[in-house]
Amino acid sequence: MDINLFKLCSGLKVLGYFMILLVAAIIAVSYYAVVVITCGPQLLRGGVHSFFGFSIIILFHILLVMLVWSYVMVVFWDPGSVPENWRSVSVSSSSSSGVNLEAGTSSQSLDNVGPDARGPSRSVGFCDRCQNGKPPRCHHCSVCQRCVLKMDHHCVWVVNCVGARNYKSFLLFLLYTFLETTMDTLVLLPSFIKFFGKAKNHSSSPANLAIVFLAFVINLAFALSLLCFIVMHSSLVSSNTTSIEVYEKKRTVRWKYDLGRKKNFEQVYPVQLHLWLQELQNEQRR
């Protein structure tokens, strides 16, 4: 009996749902440690202490709202699916309708797909598992069991692929989470330094000490790891490369999708506000 090992990868979705619960738990622990235990009592002291505590609480909630918003977007937005029964003949029609299958966004220009990926020379493949056409820079995800436009990777933390249409939300999620965890680490640092003295003298609740200690370690670990991810993806964005394409890029003298740092950045983050709003409206219609 033949066993398709790729179908076993779909079991990682179960792990992804657990990761969502883990993210919620980390947020809850950090919230209790920073807002309730650390900054809450500062509000009652008055003066500079109250101002400092109030400012930290406001900043914490702003970053938390932006973090949760970007997380929900990357979880629920379609990363970029290939239309059913798509073939190379549909390239011209899809381009005329404003949909760029390769970039995976509502494209205002075909320039963002690269000079070697446009026109009649566009190389179109075929996915045996999806039994469908495969545009350039499109890859099949063994977890989602579908092809994803400009796929970067499958992220178990968001139970979704990171592709053309949710890559911007993914990068914002990394940025806001890094800022949040860095701020939490700095706020909890004095309490962490005093942790061992308070634990020895039994001057604070053991439960509160444990929560502060756990929150500090978790936020520090995430801040350091996210810094590495942000640096890596900043490099990828600047060269218009995905994580999957890194190895392919090393074998070429000049990366065919590299349009220059400014245009590469604008492909992910439209500079014009009306383009950004139009993109949001198109996603809401889907």
User: What are the catalytic residues?
Assistant: 155
- How remote is the C-alpha of 250 from its chain's centroid? 24
Q: Find all residues with CB under 8 Å of 198, minimum gap 6, and list them.
A: 204, 209
Longest dimension (CA), the chain: 76
Q: What is the Cα–Cα distance from 225 to 196, expressed in whole angstroms?
A: 26
First-to-last alpha carbon distance for the chain, in angstroms, is 40
Q: What is the Cα–Cα distance from 167 to 73, expressed in whole angstroms?
A: 10
DSSP type of residue 46: -
- How remote is the C-alpha of 45 from its chain's centroid? 39
* 264 neighbors 235 (Cβ within 8 angstroms): no
Q: What is the Cα–Cα distance from 257 to 239, expressed in whole angstroms?
A: 8
